[in-house]
Amino acid sequence: MAVQILMPKLGMSTAPLTLVEWKAKEGAPVEKGNVVLVVETEKIRHDIEAEVSGFLHILVKEGQEVPIGTVVGVIAKTKEELAVVQKEKLKEAVAAKVKEAPPEEAVPAEAAPPAAEAKARERILISPVARKLAEEHMIDITKITGTGPGGRIVREDIEKAVEVKKVEVEKKEVAPEVYQGRRVKSTISLKGMRKVIAEHMHRSLSVSAQLTVMGEIDMTEMVKLRQSLVSQEEALGTRITYTDLFVFVAAKLLREYPIVNSSLIDNEIKVWENINIGVATALEEGLIVPVVKDADKKSLVEISKTVRSLVQKAREGKLTPDEITGGTFTITNLGALGGGYRFETVIINQPESAILGTGGITDRAVVRDGQIVIRPIMTYYFTYDHRVFTGAVAAQFMASATQLMENPSPLLS
């Protein structure tokens, strides 16, 4: 059954709207959710999206003023249906109801000051298609010399300007030899993944209130545990890495601290049922975060195998969109990148509300029972969104993490 497109009521007002522009032609296919119609009222332009996918049948032409609730168009599900609705006499019926939009509302010319009139005569000449292009590309037409008859700005003029603009943009990206007094070695233009990361990171910082908790974990037991696991590589069918272990640990903790496994969206905190842990993976051109879905429901071995294949795919650039989205928490094991004993901050992978960074495991002198002993120590840095939970929660979360990793026996039980 065909779906009608009604002139919407944009809130309380019942003033008629002006139908400004159909985004699709008569009979053209339209996609659900795409803008099909632009209407205007007062000084507001409003886009109307297609409720369903199908083929558009236009009932009311552009530029007309239409009462709210008027059926201005129909979306037919099929070509056949389109043919039917196009036949319907509905068209005339509606067209009749619609009165032409009033012409210029400006006051009559004689009321205008003579000075204005004099100036108005030298009005700027620009062809309709040129004006449309200028709008699309945000071209400042005062910078353009019209080459049409009588100096009218024509399509060609705008197209040229658009070209120039493109070139300038590229120039911007390729930095000059000396940039503000500093000599440039090489310039990496912010494109592709780098641009994504940059924007992502920056956006993350600009939209959330991020704080970072840092600390050390004594990895003595974890190191033993891992060694024994590695020795069982044959049996397990996979070589367990520290990253695997951290994912495994995090999954367990996140079940105890649901708030950490959440996102703030539209002033609502959505606490996620799924525990999907992203594993930051360094690549030539930057960084990517494949996600281990439902990590809490996976055994260590399953996690290990998943991570391995994801990392493999990441390196080969074979990750599917599904494999890098839907994360609810992220782990970035900087130790794996050869990071030694150091502290740094990590940035939340939006719209998650926390990320755990782990440093390298290095032997450090620590005090145990009043004795200075040497232990394998790992640094961690846990960044969280203060809008979602407080420092107390963060502190508790990491305390539990530390406890679990310093005696991991329950992990395997």
The per-residue DSSP string of 256-294 comes to H-GGGSEEEETTEEEE-SS--EEE-EEETTEEE--EETT
Subset of 360-389 contacting other proteins (CB under 8 A)? 387
Query: Please, what is the minimum distance in Å from the beta carbon of residue 130 to other proteins?
Result: 7
Q: 323, 313, 328: which is closest to 290 by C-alpha?
A: 323
Q: How far is CA 332 from CA 132, 190, 212, 216, in A?
A: 48, 23, 14, 16
Rg value, the chain, Cα: 31
The helix (H) or strand (E) run that includes residue 41 is strand 35-41
The DSSP bridge partners found for residue 380 are 215, 358
Query: Is 164 one of the binding residues for other proteins (CB under 8 A)?
Result: no
Rounded Cα gap, residues 107 and 54, in angstroms: 44
Rounded Cα gap, residues 91 and 71, in angstroms: 10
Query: Please, what is the minimum distance in Å from the beta carbon of residue 196 to other proteins?
Result: 12
Subset of 32-61 contacting other proteins (CB under 8 A)? 35, 40-47, 49
Query: Please, what is the minimum distance in Å from the beta carbon of residue 197 to other proteins?
Result: 14
Task: Output the six-digit token pair for 88.
Answer: 């319907």
Rounded Cα gap, residues 41 and 66, in angstroms: 10
Q: Which is nearer to other proteins, 40 or 221 (CB)?
A: 40
Rounded Cα gap, residues 336 and 355, in angstroms: 16
DSSP 153: B
| Number of residues assigned to the chain | 413
* Size of the residue set binding other proteins (CB under 8 A): 64
Subset of 91-150 contacting other proteins (CB under 8 A)? 104-107, 111-113, 116, 119-120, 122-124, 126-132, 134-135, 138-143, 146, 148-149
Query: Please, what is the minimum distance in Å from the beta carbon of residue 99 to other proteins?
Result: 17
Q: Which is nearer to other proteins, 22 or 397 (CB)?
A: 22
Binding mask 1-20 for other proteins (x = CB under 8 A): ---------xxxx----x-x
Rounded Cα gap, residues 410 and 241, in angstroms: 19
Q: Among the residues of 138-209, which ranges form H helices? A: 155-173, 192-207
Rounded Cα gap, residues 247 and 290, in angstroms: 12
Query: Is 155 one of the binding residues for other proteins (CB under 8 A)?
Result: yes
Q: What are φ and ψ of residue 323, in 5° steps?
A: -85, -10
Query: Please, what is the minimum distance in Å from the beta carbon of residue 236 to other proteins?
Result: 40
Query: Please, what is the minimum distance in Å from the beta carbon of residue 134 to other proteins?
Result: 5
Query: Is 252 one of the binding residues for other proteins (CB under 8 A)?
Result: no
Kindly indicate which of the ranges 195-203, 252-260, 373-381, 396-404 contains the residues binding other proteins, using the contact rule CB under 8 A: 195-203
**Contact residue for other proteins among 100, 168, 177, 266 (CB under 8 A):** 266
Q: Which is nearer to other proteins, 27 or 215 (CB)?
A: 27
| Exposure string over 106-125, b if 16+ CB within 10 A, otherwise e | eeeeeeeeeeeeeeeeeeee
Query: Please, what is the minimum distance in Å from the beta carbon of residue 261 to other proteins?
Result: 18
Q: 352, 361, 412: which is closest to 382 by C-alpha?
A: 352
Interface ranges with other proteins (CB under 8 A): 10-13, 18, 20-21, 35, 40-47, 49, 104-107, 111-113, 116, 119-120, 122-124, 126-132, 134-135, 138-143, 146, 148-149, 151-152, 154-155, 199, 202-203, 205-207, 265-267, 350-351, 387
